[in-house]
Chains A and B, each alone.
Chain A
Amino acid sequence: ACSNEPADNSTAGGESEGTEAPQDALEWAQGITDTQIIVANSAATSGAFAPVGVPFNAGIEAYFKKINGEGGIQGRDIVFTHVDDEFDPVKGKAALSSFVEDEKVFAIVGHFGTPVVAATLEDLKEYGIPAVYFATGIGQLYNDKAEGRERNIFPVQPIYRTEGQIMVARAVGDFGASKIGVIYTNDDAGKDMLWGAETMAEQLDVELVIQQVAAGATDVSSAVTTIKDAEVDFVIGAAIQATIPTIIKELAAQSVNKDVITTYVNVSPVIAEGVVNEINGKFDVYGNGWVSFEGERANALAEFAEYTVGYETNVYAMTGWIAAHFFVEGLKRVDGVITWDTYMDALEESPINNPFGGQIDFGNGLRAGTQEMNLSKINHDNPAGEWVEEKPLQSIDSILN
């Protein structure tokens, strides 16, 4: 599937140890030919997760198209190959082994989905292949001093647990809440956010009223009734796209009329459009954000929209775009021979900017993904669905102070 032209002898181990070695002693890493840099990912692009996987990959491809259009990296085009793993760990594992051992790609960009990522994290570390951006928020990715074999893992996306903490921090810091309702879905997103929320609530000594709903549920009425009865003063909607509209609509239907905060995944015009009629005149829906569309970032957004026709407003496409951006920023910094080590050094060299705001620092082995988030709110007056930024990117500490 890929052309193995010159200088492609380095094997899976990534044996070029010393970064101090003179340039001409270095060999180009696998997956890099005179004309191409081959990268890959496996993601669920069919079945029930297609609505996430398809736009995500479209975002990655769009960004590479932009880069290639601008002349590529050191004159090489970035070639992106992809296999549909159907969210199945076996298939994801098989795909990864094929990428690294058969096709000998240079890096994995946008490794996707909790089950596949968790099942292959060890394999990745063993291979030593750089893996930039993980489309999942599992805790295993977090590392504050990655060294040696763990260095190659570069998470970017916010971790749901962090987000759960931020939500409670917002509720208390920005809205003065003391009794918070949490409606969470029984999936990794919901449960991780709950974990974060509980941790933070304990720290801040506020009361939580917790209700679980099934991911993808159509009837969440009993959970909402419980929340209503408890007379909370703020609600956390710890659920991703499919379920959050159900929760918000039920809150409106039962006139709970307390403000709601939810995860960055939902900060998309589509979701806003889906619920704006129901909440109008009743309560506000806030969302964490790790991207900002205001001011100077508007340009980045326009550029994104230009390349992702059909997915202009899709958050998952946006995250794919970001994934590719982080990967490319690292590449751009290497001048001369690209090996796995020179590449990883480049990523760690200094913080990398997110095109939509904020930055991530991989320096000194820090692998923590996005730590700062902003706050936006659904605009009641726009029936087409719109989020407007209320507060800029802030860390937990700055929210609480």
Chain B
Amino acid sequence: MHIDHQPNMDGLVLKIENLSIAFGGLKAVDDLSFEIKENEVFGLIGPNGAGKTTAFNCITQFYRPDSGNIYFKDRKGKVQNLLEHGVHEIIELGLVRTFQNVELIRELSIIDNVLIGAHTDFNATIFDQAFRLPRAVKEERRMRQKAYEILETLGIEDRADQLVGGQPYGILKKVEFARSLISDPKLIILDEPAAGLNDTETMELSKRIRRISKELNCAILLVEHDMRLVMDVCDRICAISFGKFLAKGTPKEIKENKDVQVAYLGIEVTENAEE
């Protein structure tokens, strides 16, 4: 694909331009544009079926959009059009995601699941691994240590060697989170990270998201229906409906936006969120 214009990405990490994708006759994402600044927490909200997950899937190349561009400033500061990369190449550029329905490997231990996130950071070849050459051994040890440290920051290091299968939902969510952290990303995409968490856990999550964004120097793109979390952690929010742009602004602006209230929030919940 030939890029005829290099977008200006000063201060930005991701820039979506006129993104569209349709399934059959249904326009799931319709001419959507937004941009995310470096190190900010950005919320994407909208009614069920608005196209949020679909937008994520376009960004991470699980879907090929019908039109539009997706620019990303990679680890080295180089601007990349994500459409030119395969799904498995995205993480190397510095963009990592979690999944709306947890996607973990039940038969592996928690720490091994986290290590999968570091897949692209290994240098040892198959040959090194097969014969356990010192290079491979050292590398493995180093990565394991790093994974362990991440589990520590999430407070689940005591479970590091337990299998993922059979763990409660809240732990699974944390493991997914840990897995996205180990690759030192520039942008993390979180799809409904608070779903299935109780009130206390949601509060914890909200603190953690802020901390991570600061400590790791990365931006976060968040989809979530739990308004307390969204309002609490997001610097800016974009609301969409039927695949189309609806409103953009600070949490306060969004909360007060009439369109968003009608299409998404409902009056009572807005009150709740203010409590």
Are any A and B Cβ atoms less than 8 Å apart in their complex? no
- Which positions in B face A, CB cutoff 8 Å? none
User: Which residues of chain A have a CB within 8 Å of any CB of chain B?
Assistant: none
